[in-house]
Amino acid sequence: MELLGLDEIRDLLGGISKQRATIIVGRKGFPDPLVTLKMGRVWEGKAVRAWIATNRPSPADED
């Protein structure tokens, strides 16, 4: 199982700012974290990747 923190999600979203990533992961419809630790929330990679594929255009689609 792939586990992702906010920094890994930022990377998957093209290196967006921490503030922007925090807004995105807080939106309705974004996968719920598996657990919240002292270091932060942890998500299942498969669920996050599926959400990104459905909800975020790839850079090639933005031309």
Each residue's pLDDT tens digit, 4-59: 999 999 999 999 999 999 999 999 999 999 999 999 999 999 999 999 999 986 65
Please state, in angstroms and rounded to a whole number, the distance separating the CA atoms of residues 34 and 55: 20
- Distance of alpha carbon 17 from the chain centroid: 12
DSSP letter, residue 13: T
pTM of the model: 0.84
The predicted structure's pLDDT at residue 61? 46
Domain ranges of the chain: 3-57
Radius of gyration of the CA atoms of the chain, in A:
12
Cβ-based neighbours of 20, under 8 Å, separated by 6 or more? 13
Indicate whether 63 pLDDT > 50: no
Contact 10, 50 (CB under 8 A): no
